Every structure is written in C-alpha cells, then in structure tokens.
Structure 1
Amino acid sequence: MGHSHHHHDHPEGNIKVAFFLNLGFAIIEIIGGLWTNSVAILSDALHDLGDSLTLGVSWYFARIAKKDRNQKYSYGYKRFSVLGAIINSIVLVTGSIFIIIEAIPRLLNPVTPNTEGMIYLAIGGVIVNGAAAFRLSKGHSLNEKAVYMHLLEDVLGWVAVLVGALVMNFWDLPILDPLLSVLIAAFILYNVFKNLRESFRIILQGTPSDISIKKIHQVIRDIPKVLDVHDCHTWSLDGEYHILSIHLVIKEDLPLSELENIKIETKQRVSKLGINHTTIEFETQNEECEPC
C-alpha cells in the first residue's frame, strides 16, 4: 500500500489551500452582497460558501480515504470521498433552490444594485477563485475533479457578474442582476446532478464508465487453456480504484503451477484495462456454477 501515499498527500494540501481561500472570500462576499444589494453577488456568495463546505468535507474525506484497510473496512476508506461528494451536492442543491426563490420577486420588480461595489467584488472573485482552481487543475481523484469543477464554475460565475455589473453601470438594466443569479443557480444544479449520477453509480456498484466488460471477456478468453469466463463483476471503490471478480472455466486437472500462470496472466491483462484488484475463481467445464 506504501506507494499510493505520495499520490494522495498532494491533493489534500491543494484542497486545504482552496478551502481557506474560499471560506474567507465567501464571508466577504455575503457582506458585499448585502452592501451592494445584489442577488447575483449573494447567489455567488452562496455558491462559494457551498464550495467552501465542499472543500472542507473533501479535505476531511481525502484524509480519511488514505487510511489503510482494517477489519471494519476491509476494502479501506476510499469510498468515503464519494460520500463527501454526495453531501456537497445536497448542500448545493438546497442553496440553488433558495437563490431561485429569492430572485423571482426581483425579476418581477427589479431593484438597482450598487454596480461599482459589484465590480470590485467580482474582480476579487475572479482572482481568488482563479487561484484556487489553478491549484486543483491537475487533480486526478473524483473528489479533486469535483472541487475543481466547482471552482471553475465560480470563476465563470464571477466573470458573468462582472460583465453584468459593467453593463448595469452604463445602462439602466436592473433586471440583469436577478437574471444572472437564476442562471448561476441553474448552472450549479445542472452540474450537481451530473456529479450525483456518477457518485450514485459508484455507490450502487455499477460498472465503472471507463471499463468494458466485453473487452475483459475478450482478453481473458484469449489466454491459452481458458475455455470460458463466467460470473464477471466489476465495480469501483471511489471512481478510480476498480475491482473485478471473475470465474475462469479451464481444462480438466491442470497443476497448480499452471493455474498460477493463468492467474498472473489474467491479472496483467485486466490491469491494462484499468482494473486494480482482481479476484479469480477457477472451475471445470462440468462444474455447476451457482450464480451463472
């Protein structure tokens, strides 16, 4: 297990930096949103606050996910990061619905916000979230990718607020403010549901989207002395670490040394397809395979 530690310390540090950046800025924004009387700023503030929670939870779960397997969690703690992703999604959905409810009355009778204040806050938003997104742009884990997506959305959200504020500064179009906030909320919801789908697929032990069962069957059937493949199950622990269990039908009475060679060959072939952990069971042609 030793070699994987190096890979995971880094994301945790990145997430930590992004967390403090975001949390500090989200607090400034909420005050700023109330001061400028802008729902767009408030919706971005909420977005950022949601992301701070996301980052906090991700950071916490990234630490837990590194723990080695034990008797209580025989596969280790990797799946905790998926739980983190789901908790965050729920927070963001709640926030977005709240924003939309706030924005609707403003769409009907728009209030002019303090555009100059909005411009300053938006520039700050682009810089802070841009810096945090840059820190996480090279991440690999589902957790890091989710966090990176959040931060990237924040940058885009702030760019939108900046453009809106500049337009409102020169033209009397107060409706732009609530319009922006609804668009930001809709965008958050769209991405959250995409993320949730991926997380549920992992939790419900669906076949990982980057693994082809057909291909697994093909490469194993090509191994000499393997007659057939049965009962092939593959699932993912956290979106990155994939597990396979499979039955190989072999010719009668092969010595153990030959079975061992078949096993090594099988593991090598499936690891090229992205499988990290393989459990193999051998059976003969006449054997009744219960689940098959």
Structure 2
Amino acid sequence: MHSSHHHSHAHSSDAASNRIGWAFLLNVVFTLIEFIGGWLTNSTAIMADAVHDLGDSLSIGTAWGLNKLSDRQANNRFSYGYKRFSLLGALVNGVVLLTGSAWILYEAIPRLAAPEMPQVEGMLLLSIFGIAVNGFAAYKLSGGSTLNEKVLNWHLLEDVLGWVAVLIVSVVLMFKPWAILDPILSIGFTFFILFNVMRNLKQTILLFLQATPDKNQMDDVRKILLDSDEINAIHHFHIWSLDGEHNVMTVHLELQQDVTLSQVTMLKEKLREGLARFDFIHTTIEIEFANEPCRDELDKH
C-alpha cells in the first residue's frame, strides 16, 4: 500500500514537472521572438511585454527547477532541504524585472514627446501569436493541481490579457495614426510589472532577513504556549519561513515549580495538539525546569 502511494505521488510530481517544462519552453522561445519582434516593429509596447514574459520565463524556470529539487532529501549541507532556493529564485527574478522595467521606461518616456509609429502589421501578427502561445501554455497548466502550477497559470493568463491589449492598440493604429498609444501602453505594462515586482521583492527580502512571516500567527502561537498552568514564561521564541510557505518555530519554555514528569508529558501532548493547526515544517521546543539556567544564556558568558 505504501509503495503504491509513493508511486502515485512520484507520477503526479513527474506530470507536474512535464507541464511546467512545456510552459517554460514555450515562454522562453516566445520571449526571444518578442524581443526580436519588438525591435523589428519599433514597438516599445511589445518590448515591455517581452520584459514581462522574461519575468514569467524566470518564474517558470525557477518553479520547474524547484519542482525537481523539492523531491531531494535534506542532507548535511542543506539540513532544512532545498525549499529556500525558491527565495533565491524570486530575488533574482525581481532584480532582472526591475532592470528590464527601468530600460523600458528609459526608452518609452521620451517617445511621449516624440512618438514614433510602430510597424502595425507586425504588431498585429505578434499579438495574435502571443495570445495563441500564452493561451496554450495556460491551458497546459490548467490541468495541474500543485501550487506552482496554479500561480504560473495566473501569470500566463495575465500575459494573454496583455497581448489582447496589444492586439486592440494595433487594430486602432491601422485606422488612426495615433503613434502615442504605443509608448502609453508600454508604460502602463511597465508600471503593472513594477507594482507586482516591488510587492514580491519586499516580501522576499523580509523573508531572507528572517523576519516573522505573520505577526498574527506569532501572537496566536504565544497564547497557546502560555495557556498552560505548568508554564511560567517563554523566551528565545522564533518563527521564520524557509520559502514563504513552510514555516519553522523554536522556543524555550520555563516551567513552574514542582512540575512532575507526568505533567511534562501531558504538556507536550497538549502543545502538539495546539500547534498542529499551524502546520509548521519543523518545531523545536526546549523545556527548562524552574531555576534552571538557560543554556543559550550561559553560552553568551
């Protein structure tokens, strides 16, 4: 029974990896086509969407790599496993997108004063191609059940909407030579990218610096820890996150006077049940008897 469950888990993991792999390949190839197409059609809007797609390619590539890495066991070098690599991927992704967005704004803002007419037929063809490729990639991932696949599917659906906007502008430009629509669209795309990047980058940097992922969770856990007559106080209480999804908790519990061994056993069971809903990937609880000096405090002297 156990081996059958393990086999089905491995099979679903492989299927997820294959779906993400297909989406990654499509996105990378299409991003290259976009950059070339944006240059040939003289369209900053297409260039802006190429930067957006480059970010999605990096996200999908990171997700694909992590999907394979996540099956690897913790070892002496990475004792918590490989989940923290996703933060590194998010940080690299954020820096690349910030750089790309700055470049697009540098190109597009001067065009507001002196707009240049893009090659409209090329824009139209690329937008149709973009809707088809991103739509197909989103369709491939829509069958997935993993969190990675669901998040990436939203990214790809955003891309489809972006290309619909390019399609509408290119159709308008065929009838009205309003060249300023191209830089306006590219600046709109870029601010949309920057809004999402800055929000995600802030969260990533906070997690890298081991900030508490959720202050409310910290308060809730503290209440559970102190809601026992056997506990006098807590210290060295920490909650941090490996990747924004999998959290770790450590704490020292200082017991009241005259607590028996059977009471300690019951306390541990009560804490296990109370903390279960937080779904920590690791918990370390050190119990200190009354008047027992804290080992970590002794180490400082």
Please give the range of the TM-score, normalised by the shorter of the 2 chains: 0.7 to 0.9
Q: Secondary structure at the match of 2:240?
A: strand
Q: Deviations over 1:51-88 (max 9, x none)?
A: 22332233223323432111111111110111011111
Is the aligned partner of 1:244 residue 2:249? yes
Listed as ranges, the matches of 1:123-272 within 5 Å are 123-136=128-141, 141=147, 147-148=152-153, 150-209=155-214, 212-223=217-228, 225-272=230-277
TM (normalized to structure 1)? Answer: 0.86
d(CA) in 1 for partners of 2:86, 2:129? 30
Q: Deviations over 1:251-289 (max 9, x none)?
A: 335444542332232123112023232111112343444
Unaligned 5+ residue runs, structure 1? none
TM (normalized to structure 2)? Answer: 0.84
1:112 corresponds in structure 2 to 117
1:99 corresponds in structure 2 to 104
d(CA) in 1 for partners of 2:281, 2:215? 13
The letter of the residue matching 1:221 is L
Q: Is the 8 A contact 2:248 2:281 kept in 1?
A: yes
d(CA) in 2 for partners of 1:177, 1:201? 36
Q: Is the 8 A contact 2:118 2:179 kept in 1?
A: yes
Q: Kindly state the Cα deviation for residue 17 of structure 1 after the two structures are TM-superposed.
A: 1.8
- Tell me how large the CA RMSD over aligned residues is: 2.8
Deviates more, 1:144-153 or 1:267-276: 144-153
1:280 corresponds in structure 2 to 285
In percent, how many aligned pairs have the same letter?
Answer: 45
d(CA) in 2 for partners of 1:253, 1:10? 56
The letter of the residue matching 1:272 is R
The match for 1:53 among 45, 52, 58 is 58
Q: Is the 8 A contact 1:65 1:79 kept in 2?
A: no
The letter of the residue matching 2:23 is A
d(CA) in 1 for partners of 2:138, 2:203? 21
Deviates more, 1:44-53 or 1:145-154: 145-154
d(CA) in 2 for partners of 1:153, 1:13? 22
The letter of the residue matching 2:38 is G
Q: Is the 8 A contact 1:211 1:273 kept in 2?
A: no
